[in-house]
Each structure stands twice: as structure tokens, then as C-alpha cells.
Amino acid sequence: MEIYELTVHELLEKLDKKEITKEEILASYQNRINEKEKDVQAFVTITEQEAKEEIKQKANNPSKLAGIPIGIKDNICTKGVKTTCASKMLENFVAPYDATVMEKINEAGMVSFGKLNMDEFAMGGSTEHSYFKKTKNPWNLNKVPGGSSGGSAAAVAAGMVPWALGSDTGGSIRQPASFCGIVGLKPTYGLVSRFGLVAFASSLDQIGTLTKDVKDSALLLNVIAGHDEKDSTSADREKEDYTKALKNDVKGLKIGVPKEYFGDGINTEVKEAIEKVIEKYRQLGATVEECSLDVADYALATYYIIACAEASSNLGRFDGIRYGYRTKNYENLKDIYRNSRSEGFGAEVKRRIILGTYVLSSGYYDAYYKKAQQVRTLVKNEYAKNFAKYDVILTPTASNVAFDIGSKINDPLEMYLADLCTVPVNIAGLPGISVPCGLNSEGMPIGFQLIGKPFAESTILNAAYTYEQNTDFRKNKPEFKN
């Protein structure tokens, strides 16, 4: 087994036994990037040379994670390294400070290998909306890796970094994890500080992890979780060790499976795979029951209203004055605003700003935005009702496997509909994890999602871990088919 194929907890064991060195880990990943990046195109900025220097500087860091590489989604601010959000607007933006999660990553002695591609400003589900490049799915290079954290998912699946950080506003960690056959965790809203994450929809955004297996998710969550004064929505809670939750035992666990997520919109092979997951959980001693979460369609519509409304406000700051792209074509201040924004934003970002401005504009506010905020209460209540009976809720992560590059780019609504299973989780602020559960007939990965009560990361991590340890799907490796 090559070093780049190992999980981080396996790397740590081997380091501990002195079977490998940090230099060998670095070299293995560097070689892998040299070999695979030209096919996969996961990085916007590669900093492996800087990483080499950093590893020397951090040689005496006592943290057990010192010297472990990581990849960072390009909407998380990294001091001294470009943070582009995959947008022309921020093509040359160098953040003057680190995001709180980056401070934590640095304190733990990890070394960033670079910034990973994404849909522009995290708006999209395929990473095709990047201004710079289209990232390919390592399982089949003609397919999308999912999005918006597509670069993060593809880099981990291809073994170019052992793990990565992403962000999830409506499924942007879980869906690409599912498309690329890895584990993606979106924590409870407020568990991880958003300070230094470029805002898309502030009431929905959350930073999380993309890893090869569940134990690595727990390890990385241990590093990034925690209260932060700089994020007023961050939760002030006692620190937990999530690795301690991994018991490989789900006896007595009560799982609800909402029937609404097995309708016409879900691909047959995905349904079959999820049915096998249910069967597995039963064998392992969990109770699985059909339940109802009758808000699926409302939730999706609500998501696009709220997310776009918040985006139209958040992206108002890009005006060509303080940072970001400035047009060359202007005579007065108004020209700077309008022309910089019109030239700096891509088509999908403009589409969402227009939709967001529309639903917030006088005359439509009550019909859309206000209603959406009420539906949000409805969605929260529906989950609460189910969580009175069940410990976790199980659904597919995505309605289908990864699609062909270019196949949905001209149909925004169809792209939005693909987020059916993931967006309600953000609306209710709950934790969700996507776990690989097989391949379809074309050899593309399928994932299932476990949703937990607020701050019940331990419960979903243990449920995910138990499934993973009793199946072999994590051993499937991408083949870079052409």
C-alpha cells in the first residue's frame, strides 16, 4: 500500500511505530499531485513548496498531527496565500488574516498543500461554475466531482491530500463527498467558527470535513470545532473528543427513514443501495422504521429563496473599492460599482444575486422571503417531531450519482433540484454526514446521509463508523477512467 492511500489515523500509527517519516509522507503526496493534478484539476493554488519549508519550521511542534498535509477550499481565508473563491472578482485577493479554522490547523502543525477549486462563491453543485477550471471526478474524468466543494472531494478521492476542509450551505460538502466516494461531514450550525469563511448565506454556511473514512472525520472535527468570539453565531460549548464516540456498535439505535426521499426523483440504483444500507443497520442491531418528513419540496424552494436573499446582501460588499476586481472602464463611482460587479461575477453568481434581490424587493418580500422564513420554522418543527422518536434520520445524499460534465450547465433549475436531500439539513442547522455505500453499474460511487439532532455529531459519527467498519465500500478506489 502506498503512503498516499492511507488514512490520517493510519499515517499517525505508522509515524508512531517509526515505520514512516514525515518527509516520506510529504514526498508521497507531492509525487501524487505531480502525477494526478493534470487529470483531476482540483487545485486553484498549489503551495507544496511552501509546505516543505513549513514542515521544517514545525519539526518541533509536539502535536500528533504536526506535518500532516491538508487541502483547503478556496473560500477559507489563508494569510499570505490567495483566497479566490474561484472568482474573477477575487482572482488576486490575498487575505491579510487567517480564518479561525486555519489558526487551528496551523496550531496543530498541519501543512496546507494549497487551495482547492469550487463553484464560484460556493454557488453550484458541480464545480463547473469555477472561473478558473473544471475539476474532474477521479472515478471517471468525464464526470463532475459534485460541488461546491468539488476540488476538496476530488483531491481527497485522488489521494492528492489525505483530507480537506470544505464548506456546506446546502450540501456542498456532502454531495461532492457522495459523488467522489468519500466521507463528508457538515457539522451543526455554530459548532465550527465561520470567521474567515467568505460568506455566501450566513444563516446556512458551515465549515466541515472531507476525509477518506469516518475516524478521520472525527479526528479533524476535534481540531476545528470550538467557540470563537469572532463569530457571534458560534456555539459556546464544552469541547468533545469525537473519536471516543466511535464504538462500532449501533444496537438499540433508532433510525427513521423518511418515505419522501424514496419517490420518483430518486434514481433506482441509488434507492437499491440505500435499501441495502437499511438492511445492514438492521443486521447490526439498529431499529429502522419508515417515517415522514413531509417538507421536502417546501424546503428546497425555501432554501433557494433564503440562500439567494442572503447572498445578494453578502455579495453587496464587492464594489471594486476596498478589495477585489476593479473595472478599467469607468468615469464615476457608480460606474466602478456596476462595471466591476458585472465584469467580476460569473453567470451563476449573477443569477442568484438577481433572484435574491427580487425576493427581497418591495412587493415580493412578503410573498417569498417572509414565507420562506416561516417554512423554515415548519422544517425545524418537522425534524424536531421526528427526533422525538428517532436518534438519526437516514436518506440518500444525492438523488443520483455524478453526472457528465456540461450536461446540466444550461438548466439551473434541474441543478437545484439535485439538492433535494441535503438542503433541509442546513435549513434546520443540523449535522449531516455522507458515507459511501457502493458503486452503481457504471462504477460511480453512491452515498447515504445520516442526519442528527443539533450537536449530536457523536451519534451520527458512531452510526456512520459502525456501518463503515462492517462493510468494505471504503476500500473501493477510483480508477481515473477516461
Partner 1 sequence: MQVSKEEILHIAKLANLNLKEEEVDTYMGHLEEILNFANIVNKAPIDGLEETIGVNEAYNVFRKDEIIESLNRDELLQNAPEAQEGMFKIPKVIN
- In whole angstroms, how far apart are CA 413 and each of 33, 252, 312? 35, 41, 18
Cell of 193: 467558527
Separation CA 8–CA 66 (nearest Å): 11
Q: Does 264 bind partner 1 (CB under 8 A)?
A: no
**Binding mask of the shown chain, residues 6 to 45, with x at each position contacting partner 1 by CB under 8 A:** ----------------------------------------
Smallest gap from residue 322 Cβ to partner 1 (A): 6
Q: Which stretch binds partner 1 (CB under 8 A): 86-94, 177-185, 261-269, 460-468?
A: 86-94
254, 289 contact by CB (below 8 A): yes
- In whole angstroms, how far apart are CA 93 and each of 41, 98, 155, 317? 21, 13, 23, 14
- Selected binder of partner 1 within 5, 107, 229, 290 (CB under 8 A): 229
Q: Does 416 bind partner 1 (CB under 8 A)?
A: yes
Q: Which is nearer to partner 1, 254 or 338 (CB)?
A: 338
**Binding mask of the shown chain, residues 295 to 334, with x at each position contacting partner 1 by CB under 8 A:** x-xx--xx-xx------x---x--xxxxxxxx---xxxx-
- Selected binder of partner 1 within 9, 14, 39, 97 (CB under 8 A): 97
Nearest to 112 by CA among 40, 53, 60, 39: 53
Residues written for the chain: 482
The 10 Å Cβ neighbour count of residue 303 is 27
For every residue of 287-336, DSSP letters joined together read EEEEE--TTHHHHHHHHHHHHHHHHHHHGGG-SSSSSS---S--SSHHHH
Q: Does 368 bind partner 1 (CB under 8 A)?
A: yes
Cell of 39: 487529470
Q: Does 59 bind partner 1 (CB under 8 A)?
A: no
**Binding mask of the shown chain, residues 193 to 212, with x at each position contacting partner 1 by CB under 8 A:** ----------x---------
Q: Which is nearer to partner 1, 41 or 302 (CB)?
A: 302
Q: Does 429 bind partner 1 (CB under 8 A)?
A: yes
Of residues 380 through 399, those in contact with partner 1 by CB under 8 A are 380-381
240, 458 contact by CB (below 8 A): yes
Q: Does 357 bind partner 1 (CB under 8 A)?
A: yes
Separation CA 137–CA 147 (nearest Å): 11
User: If binding means CB under 8 A, how many residues of this protein chain bind partner 1?
Assistant: 69
Q: Give the residue numbers annotated as catalytic, written as ranges.
A: 73, 148, 172
Cα–Cα–Cα angle for 332, 335, 338, rounded to 5 degrees: 155
Q: Does 61 bind partner 1 (CB under 8 A)?
A: no
Give residues in contact with partner 1 (CB under 8 A).
92-94, 96-97, 189-190, 203, 229, 232-233, 235, 295, 297-298, 301-302, 304-305, 312, 316, 319-326, 330-333, 336-339, 341-342, 345, 350-351, 353-355, 357-359, 361, 367-368, 370-378, 380-381, 412-413, 416, 427-429, 454
